[in-house]
Amino acid sequence: MVKSVQRKQEDSLVARGATLQKISSQFSFTEGAAVDKKGNIFFTDQPNDKIWKYDVDGKLSVFLDKTGRSNGTYFDHKGNLLTCADEKNEIWSIDPKGKVKILLKDYHGHRLNGPNDLWEDPKGGIYFTDPYYQRPYWDRKEPDIKGEKVYYLPKGGKEPFVVADDLLQPNGIVGTPDGKFLYVADIKGDKTYKYKINSDGKLSGKELFVEQGSDGMTLDNKGNVYLTGTVGVTVYNKRGQKIKIIEVPSKWTANLCFGGKKKNILFITASESIYTLLMNVKGVE
Protein backbone atom coordinates (compact mmCIF):
# COMPACT_ATOMS: atom_id res chain seq x y z
CA MET A 1 0.00 0.00 0.00
CA VAL A 2 2.81 2.40 0.92
CA LYS A 3 4.61 1.66 -2.36
CA SER A 4 1.46 2.27 -4.39
CA VAL A 5 0.95 5.65 -2.68
CA GLN A 6 4.55 6.61 -3.43
CA ARG A 7 4.09 5.52 -7.05
CA LYS A 8 1.03 7.77 -7.37
CA GLN A 9 3.00 10.66 -5.89
CA GLU A 10 5.83 10.10 -8.37
CA ASP A 11 3.48 9.84 -11.34
CA SER A 12 1.68 13.03 -10.35
CA LEU A 13 4.81 15.20 -10.18
CA VAL A 14 5.88 15.64 -13.81
CA ALA A 15 3.41 16.76 -16.48
CA ARG A 16 2.38 13.97 -18.83
CA GLY A 17 4.83 13.65 -21.72
CA ALA A 18 7.16 16.34 -20.34
CA THR A 19 10.91 15.88 -20.64
CA LEU A 20 13.90 17.80 -19.37
CA GLN A 21 14.72 20.73 -21.66
CA LYS A 22 18.19 22.26 -21.88
CA ILE A 23 17.85 26.03 -22.25
CA SER A 24 21.51 27.04 -22.48
CA SER A 25 25.08 25.92 -21.72
CA GLN A 26 26.84 29.26 -22.07
CA PHE A 27 27.78 29.66 -18.40
CA SER A 28 30.71 28.70 -16.17
CA PHE A 29 28.81 27.58 -13.06
CA THR A 30 25.15 28.32 -12.45
CA GLU A 31 23.66 28.74 -8.98
CA GLY A 32 21.11 30.61 -6.91
CA ALA A 33 17.82 30.09 -8.74
CA ALA A 34 15.01 32.34 -7.45
CA VAL A 35 11.63 33.43 -8.80
CA ASP A 36 9.85 36.78 -8.57
CA LYS A 37 6.10 37.28 -8.13
CA LYS A 38 5.51 37.31 -11.90
CA GLY A 39 7.28 33.99 -12.42
CA ASN A 40 10.52 35.35 -13.89
CA ILE A 41 13.55 33.35 -12.79
CA PHE A 42 16.88 34.82 -11.75
CA PHE A 43 20.08 32.85 -11.28
CA THR A 44 23.79 33.45 -10.81
CA ASP A 45 26.85 32.57 -12.86
CA GLN A 46 29.25 33.01 -9.96
CA PRO A 47 32.64 32.62 -11.71
CA ASN A 48 31.61 35.33 -14.19
CA ASP A 49 30.07 37.49 -11.45
CA LYS A 50 26.70 37.89 -13.17
CA ILE A 51 23.03 37.48 -12.34
CA TRP A 52 20.88 36.35 -15.26
CA LYS A 53 17.15 36.56 -15.86
CA TYR A 54 15.05 33.90 -17.59
CA ASP A 55 11.68 35.55 -18.10
CA VAL A 56 8.21 34.02 -18.42
CA ASP A 57 8.49 34.23 -22.23
CA GLY A 58 11.69 32.18 -22.26
CA LYS A 59 14.06 35.08 -22.93
CA LEU A 60 17.55 35.10 -21.37
CA SER A 61 19.22 38.37 -20.40
CA VAL A 62 21.82 39.68 -17.96
CA PHE A 63 20.11 41.35 -15.01
CA LEU A 64 23.26 42.54 -13.23
CA ASP A 65 26.99 42.51 -13.78
CA LYS A 66 29.41 42.84 -10.82
CA THR A 67 27.24 41.09 -8.26
CA GLY A 68 29.70 40.66 -5.39
CA ARG A 69 30.15 37.06 -6.57
CA SER A 70 26.56 36.31 -5.60
CA ASN A 71 25.75 32.68 -4.96
CA GLY A 72 22.41 31.71 -3.39
CA THR A 73 19.48 34.10 -3.92
CA TYR A 74 15.88 34.56 -2.80
CA PHE A 75 13.22 37.19 -3.46
CA ASP A 76 11.91 39.06 -0.43
CA HIS A 77 8.28 40.09 0.04
CA LYS A 78 8.93 43.53 -1.44
CA GLY A 79 10.33 42.17 -4.71
CA ASN A 80 14.00 42.73 -3.95
CA LEU A 81 16.50 39.99 -4.73
CA LEU A 82 18.41 38.87 -1.63
CA THR A 83 21.82 37.43 -2.44
CA CYS A 84 24.75 35.77 -0.71
CA ALA A 85 27.55 37.98 -2.02
CA ASP A 86 30.59 36.02 -0.92
CA GLU A 87 33.27 38.20 -2.56
CA LYS A 88 33.30 40.12 0.74
CA ASN A 89 31.07 37.65 2.61
CA GLU A 90 28.01 39.88 2.72
CA ILE A 91 24.24 39.69 2.35
CA TRP A 92 22.85 42.02 -0.33
CA SER A 93 19.43 43.26 -1.32
CA ILE A 94 19.10 44.21 -5.00
CA ASP A 95 16.05 46.17 -6.11
CA PRO A 96 14.31 45.57 -9.48
CA LYS A 97 16.46 48.26 -11.12
CA GLY A 98 19.71 46.68 -9.94
CA LYS A 99 20.47 49.05 -7.07
CA VAL A 100 22.41 47.30 -4.32
CA LYS A 101 21.92 47.68 -0.57
CA ILE A 102 24.25 45.81 1.79
CA LEU A 103 22.18 44.26 4.58
CA LEU A 104 25.00 42.52 6.43
CA LYS A 105 28.77 42.96 6.38
CA ASP A 106 30.05 40.88 9.30
CA TYR A 107 29.26 39.05 12.53
CA HIS A 108 30.42 40.83 15.68
CA GLY A 109 33.16 42.50 13.64
CA HIS A 110 34.40 39.25 12.09
CA ARG A 111 34.07 38.31 8.44
CA LEU A 112 31.55 35.57 7.81
CA ASN A 113 32.87 32.37 6.23
CA GLY A 114 30.98 32.90 2.98
CA PRO A 115 27.17 33.13 3.02
CA ASN A 116 25.95 30.44 0.64
CA ASP A 117 22.18 30.13 0.60
CA LEU A 118 19.28 31.97 2.23
CA TRP A 119 15.54 32.08 2.79
CA GLU A 120 13.27 34.86 4.03
CA ASP A 121 10.54 33.94 6.52
CA PRO A 122 7.03 35.45 6.53
CA LYS A 123 8.15 38.04 9.11
CA GLY A 124 10.88 39.37 6.83
CA GLY A 125 13.76 37.78 8.73
CA ILE A 126 16.52 36.00 6.83
CA TYR A 127 17.97 32.57 7.56
CA PHE A 128 21.30 31.88 5.86
CA THR A 129 23.97 29.20 5.82
CA ASP A 130 27.63 30.10 6.21
CA PRO A 131 29.93 27.26 5.12
CA TYR A 132 33.58 27.82 4.26
CA TYR A 133 34.61 27.17 0.66
CA GLN A 134 38.00 28.68 -0.12
CA ARG A 135 37.61 31.13 -3.01
CA PRO A 136 40.48 32.09 -5.34
CA TYR A 137 39.49 35.76 -5.10
CA TRP A 138 39.79 35.94 -1.29
CA ASP A 139 42.78 37.48 0.51
CA ARG A 140 42.56 34.88 3.30
CA LYS A 141 43.31 31.18 3.55
CA GLU A 142 41.31 30.32 6.67
CA PRO A 143 38.04 31.42 8.27
CA ASP A 144 37.76 34.25 10.77
CA ILE A 145 34.94 32.45 12.58
CA LYS A 146 35.35 28.97 14.01
CA GLY A 147 32.66 26.56 12.85
CA GLU A 148 30.25 26.55 9.93
CA LYS A 149 26.84 27.71 11.13
CA VAL A 150 23.31 28.78 10.30
CA TYR A 151 22.30 32.34 11.19
CA TYR A 152 19.13 34.39 11.47
CA LEU A 153 18.99 38.09 10.68
CA PRO A 154 15.75 39.61 12.07
CA LYS A 155 13.83 42.04 9.89
CA GLY A 156 15.58 45.41 9.97
CA GLY A 157 18.31 43.96 12.19
CA LYS A 158 22.01 44.76 11.95
CA GLU A 159 23.32 41.73 13.83
CA PRO A 160 22.41 38.11 13.11
CA PHE A 161 22.40 35.37 15.72
CA VAL A 162 23.36 31.70 15.45
CA VAL A 163 20.44 29.26 15.21
CA ALA A 164 22.39 26.06 14.44
CA ASP A 165 26.05 25.33 15.12
CA ASP A 166 26.23 21.53 15.15
CA LEU A 167 26.37 20.84 11.41
CA LEU A 168 29.55 19.92 9.52
CA GLN A 169 28.86 22.15 6.51
CA PRO A 170 25.39 23.69 6.14
CA ASN A 171 24.50 24.57 2.58
CA GLY A 172 20.98 24.39 1.10
CA ILE A 173 18.18 25.98 3.11
CA VAL A 174 14.44 26.52 2.63
CA GLY A 175 11.42 27.04 4.87
CA THR A 176 7.75 26.24 4.61
CA PRO A 177 5.54 29.12 3.44
CA ASP A 178 3.68 29.21 6.77
CA GLY A 179 6.98 29.92 8.53
CA LYS A 180 6.66 26.92 10.85
CA PHE A 181 9.49 24.69 9.64
CA LEU A 182 12.99 25.06 8.20
CA TYR A 183 14.96 22.51 6.19
CA VAL A 184 18.76 22.72 6.28
CA ALA A 185 21.11 20.48 4.33
CA ASP A 186 24.41 19.43 5.86
CA ILE A 187 26.21 18.74 2.61
CA LYS A 188 29.40 17.45 4.22
CA GLY A 189 27.46 15.21 6.59
CA ASP A 190 25.24 14.06 3.70
CA LYS A 191 22.07 14.71 5.70
CA THR A 192 19.13 17.10 5.62
CA TYR A 193 17.43 18.19 8.84
CA LYS A 194 14.05 19.64 9.66
CA TYR A 195 13.61 22.22 12.43
CA LYS A 196 10.67 23.91 14.08
CA ILE A 197 10.84 27.70 13.80
CA ASN A 198 10.04 29.41 17.10
CA SER A 199 8.34 32.81 17.45
CA ASP A 200 11.68 34.48 18.25
CA GLY A 201 13.35 33.08 15.12
CA LYS A 202 15.31 30.45 17.00
CA LEU A 203 15.11 26.78 15.98
CA SER A 204 14.08 23.75 17.99
CA GLY A 205 13.04 20.13 17.53
CA LYS A 206 15.84 19.19 15.18
CA GLU A 207 15.08 15.94 13.40
CA LEU A 208 16.75 14.01 10.62
CA PHE A 209 14.64 14.41 7.50
CA VAL A 210 16.65 12.29 5.05
CA GLU A 211 20.09 10.72 4.73
CA GLN A 212 21.09 13.01 1.88
CA GLY A 213 22.74 16.39 1.75
CA SER A 214 22.03 19.05 -0.84
CA ASP A 215 23.39 22.17 -2.47
CA GLY A 216 20.19 24.09 -3.27
CA MET A 217 16.66 23.16 -2.18
CA THR A 218 13.06 24.01 -2.94
CA LEU A 219 9.52 22.95 -2.01
CA ASP A 220 6.34 22.45 -4.01
CA ASN A 221 2.70 23.06 -3.07
CA LYS A 222 2.29 19.44 -1.98
CA GLY A 223 5.01 19.79 0.64
CA ASN A 224 7.56 17.76 -1.33
CA VAL A 225 11.24 18.63 -0.82
CA TYR A 226 13.62 18.83 -3.79
CA LEU A 227 17.33 18.17 -3.16
CA THR A 228 20.23 18.59 -5.57
CA GLY A 229 23.65 17.01 -6.11
CA THR A 230 25.43 14.52 -8.35
CA VAL A 231 22.44 12.48 -9.58
CA GLY A 232 20.33 15.50 -10.49
CA VAL A 233 17.24 16.25 -8.42
CA THR A 234 15.88 13.91 -5.76
CA VAL A 235 12.33 14.50 -4.54
CA TYR A 236 11.05 13.45 -1.11
CA ASN A 237 7.52 13.74 0.21
CA LYS A 238 6.88 15.50 3.52
CA ARG A 239 7.42 12.21 5.39
CA GLY A 240 10.92 11.84 3.99
CA GLN A 241 10.07 9.09 1.51
CA LYS A 242 11.91 9.22 -1.81
CA ILE A 243 9.33 9.55 -4.57
CA LYS A 244 11.25 10.70 -7.64
CA ILE A 245 14.71 11.11 -9.16
CA ILE A 246 15.00 13.62 -11.98
CA GLU A 247 18.23 12.78 -13.76
CA VAL A 248 20.16 15.75 -15.09
CA PRO A 249 23.01 15.18 -17.61
CA SER A 250 25.56 17.27 -15.75
CA LYS A 251 28.35 16.68 -13.23
CA TRP A 252 26.58 18.71 -10.56
CA THR A 253 23.10 20.04 -10.02
CA ALA A 254 23.43 23.05 -7.76
CA ASN A 255 20.07 24.75 -7.35
CA LEU A 256 16.46 24.96 -8.48
CA CYS A 257 13.16 26.76 -8.14
CA PHE A 258 9.68 26.81 -9.68
CA GLY A 259 8.87 29.58 -12.14
CA GLY A 260 6.80 30.55 -15.14
CA LYS A 261 3.43 32.27 -15.25
CA LYS A 262 1.78 29.37 -13.41
CA LYS A 263 4.83 28.58 -11.21
CA ASN A 264 4.72 25.04 -12.61
CA ILE A 265 8.06 25.01 -14.45
CA LEU A 266 10.91 23.46 -12.50
CA PHE A 267 14.06 25.45 -13.32
CA ILE A 268 17.37 23.73 -12.62
CA THR A 269 20.90 25.13 -12.52
CA ALA A 270 23.49 22.46 -13.32
CA SER A 271 27.16 23.40 -13.77
CA GLU A 272 27.47 25.25 -17.09
CA SER A 273 23.82 24.66 -18.02
CA ILE A 274 20.25 25.49 -17.12
CA TYR A 275 17.24 23.19 -17.64
CA THR A 276 13.47 23.30 -17.32
CA LEU A 277 10.84 20.64 -16.72
CA LEU A 278 7.07 21.10 -16.89
CA MET A 279 5.42 19.88 -13.70
CA ASN A 280 1.96 19.09 -12.36
CA VAL A 281 2.86 20.64 -9.01
CA LYS A 282 3.68 24.29 -8.36
CA GLY A 283 6.24 26.21 -6.37
CA VAL A 284 5.53 28.04 -3.13
CA GLU A 285 8.15 30.81 -3.22
pLDDT tens by residue, the chain, 285 residues? 445 445 555 568 999 999 999 999 999 999 999 999 999 999 999 999 999 999 999 999 999 999 999 999 999 999 999 999 999 999 999 999 999 999 999 999 999 999 999 999 999 999 999 999 999 999 999 999 999 999 999 999 999 999 999 999 999 999 999 999 999 999 999 999 999 999 999 999 999 999 999 999 999 999 999 999 999 999 999 999 999 999 999 999 999 999 999 999 999 999 999 999 999 999 997
- Report how far apart, in Å, the C-alpha atoms of 115 and of each of 45, 82, 151, 169, 232 are: 16, 11, 10, 12, 23
Q: For residue 285, what pLDDT is reported?
A: 76
Assess if residue 256 is contained within a domain.
yes
Q: Are 110 and 142 in contact (CB under 8 A)?
A: no
SS3 7: helix
Assess if residue 283 is contained within a domain.
no
Q: Are 233 and 245 in contact (CB under 8 A)?
A: yes
Domain count, the chain: 1
Q: For residue 263, what pLDDT is reported?
A: 97
The conformation of residue 48, written as its DSSP 8-state character, comes to G
Q: For residue 9, what pLDDT is reported?
A: 56
Q: For residue 67, what pLDDT is reported?
A: 98
Assess if residue 167 is contained within a domain.
yes
User: Where do the H-state alpha helices sit in the chain?
Assistant: 2-11
Closest Cα to residue 129, out of 208, 221, 52, 217?
217
CA distance linking residue 114 with residue 31, whole number of Å: 15
Assess if residue 54 is contained within a domain.
yes
Assess if residue 284 is contained within a domain.
no
Assess if residue 285 is contained within a domain.
no
Q: In CATH, what number is assigned to the domain containing residue 118?
A: 2.120.10.30
Assess if residue 55 is contained within a domain.
yes
Could you tell me the residue range of the domain that residue 18 belongs to? 2-278
